């Protein structure tokens, strides 16, 4: 079970009801924060979401509307008594910008570990039990999206285990992928497990023009969170100049990638009511929602 909450859904300038870009992924008692724009900790407070459980912060890129909330958030976490290390993962060239933000924090009672990823090819790594794939994006500076997956074990088939006379005390070990020996007989997991199961998958993409490999990496996501900086198709030239996307472009990626659900986010401050333009996306991909601060969902295994 994974909880996903949009913490901020604005781009460029925070508004009273729309803080800047951020998203919280909660799994197994820990959290991953994607981006930390201005207002992130205020929104976390409003949503009664724990800051101290944040294990990792994934940064898409080092423009201010995605990282300006870092110093305040890190200070608050320190004031809450944290001593465990916190990990920040960001595109190549980000360390100097993040370190400059850390300067204003002064002393923190925990270690902040910074790792940089390639900005031209995907990388796969694991944090808090989730497999994460970086997505190279096309923006004015090095920028990454992220796709997070929770692998699911095949269902255990007790009826088959009973027919094979495997004692119940060995079932858990078999379900965990281990072979067991009972009365000189070897039983392997494939003998009692069902078909492979599709992982739970969440993908987050913002501040980019559409590029082909976005579709390939976010393919079949249960939830695809994607920027919709501008709503109208008439804003396409503006989106190209600013290296962003319009609603219909995000919807096209969602359709081509066969995702289950699309949430639009990172709205231009000039768009007071993004919902007024949802038709531009719905005409292409019907299962779309306009993101709003503290909108959340729980993704469960079948």
Residues 179 and 218 in one domain: no
Query: Are 140 and 169 in a shared domain?
Result: no
In 3D space, the residue among 126, 134, 173 whose CA is nearest the CA of residue 150 turns out to be 126
- Residues 144 and 107 reside in one and the same domain: yes
Active site residue 55: no
The structural domain count of the chain equals 2
Residues that constitute the known binding site for Zn(2+): 61, 63, 65-66, 139, 207, 266
Are 91 and 203 in the same domain?
yes
CA 265 to chain centre: 13
Say whether both 122 and 234 belong to one domain.
Answer: yes
Q: Return the H-helix or E-strand segment holding 215.
A: helix 212-218
Shared domain check, 201 and 91:
yes
Task: Domain of residue 179: give its range.
Answer: 158-191
For residue 85, the domain's CATH number is 3.60.15.10
Helices of type H across the chain: 40-46, 64-67, 70-79, 95-103, 158-163, 171-175, 212-218, 236-242, 247-256, 279-282
Q: Please indicate, yes or no, whether residues 141 and 274 belong to a single structural domain of this protein.
A: yes
Residues 110 and 250 in one domain: yes
Looking at the fold, whether 103 and 169 belong to one and the same domain comes out as no
Do 243 and 127 share a structural domain?
yes
Tens-digit pLDDT profile for residues 7-17? 999 999 999 89
**Alpha-carbon span 164 to 193, nearest angstrom:** 13
Query: Position of tokens 């079970």?
Result: 1
Options 65, 119, 222, 293, the catalytic residue = 65
* Closest by Cα among 28, 31, 9, 4 to 261: 4
pLDDT in tens, the chain (302 residues): 899 999 999 999 999 899 999 999 999 999 999 999 999 999 999 999 999 999 999 999 999 999 999 999 999 999 999 999 999 999 999 999 999 999 999 899 999 999 999 989 999 999 999 999 999 999 999 999 999 999 887 887 888 888 888 888 888 888 887 888 888 888 888 887 877 788 999 999 999 999 999 999 999 999 999 999 999 999 999 999 999 999 999 999 999 999 999 999 999 999 999 999 999 999 999 999 999 999 999 998 76
Residues 120 and 182 reside in one and the same domain? no
């Amino acid at each position: 079970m994974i909880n996903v909450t949009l913490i901020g859904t604005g781009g460029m300038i925070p508004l009273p009801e729309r803080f800047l870009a951020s998203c919280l992924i909660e799994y197994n008692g820990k959290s991953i924060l994607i981006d930390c724009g201005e207002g992130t900790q205020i929104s976390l407070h409003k949503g009664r979401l724990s800051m101290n459980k944040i294990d990792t912060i994934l940064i898409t890129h080092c423009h201010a509307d995605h990282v300006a909330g870092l110093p305040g958030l890190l200070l608050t976490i320190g004031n809450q008594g944290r001593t465990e290390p916190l990990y920040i993962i960001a595109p190549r060239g980000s360390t100097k910008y993040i370190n400059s933000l850390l300067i204003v924090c002064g002393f923190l009672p925990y270690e902040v570990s910074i790792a940089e990823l390639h900005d031209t090819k995907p990388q796969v790594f694991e944090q808090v039990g989730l497999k994460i794939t970086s997505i190279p994006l096309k923006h004015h500076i090095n920028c990454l999206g992220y796709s997070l997956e929770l692998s699911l074990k095949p269902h255990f088939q007790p009826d088959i285990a009973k027919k094979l006379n495997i004692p119940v005390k060995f079932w858990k070990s078999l379900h965990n992928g281990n072979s067991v020996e009972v009365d000189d007989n070897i039983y392997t997991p494939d003998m009692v497990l069902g078909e492979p199961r599709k992982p739970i998958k969440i993908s987050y993409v913002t501040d980019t023009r559409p590029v082909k490999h976005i579709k390939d990496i976010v393919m079949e996501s249960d939830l695809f969170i994607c920027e919709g900086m501008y709503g109208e198709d008439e804003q396409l030239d503006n989106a190209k100049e600013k290296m962003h996307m319009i609603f219909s472009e995000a919807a096209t990626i969602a359709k081509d990638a066969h995702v289950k659900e699309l949430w639009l986010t990172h709205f231009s401050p000039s768009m007071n009511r993004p919902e007024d333009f949802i038709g531009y996306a719905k005409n292409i991909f019907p299962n779309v929602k306009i993101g709003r601060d503290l909108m959340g969902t729980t993704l469960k295994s079948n």
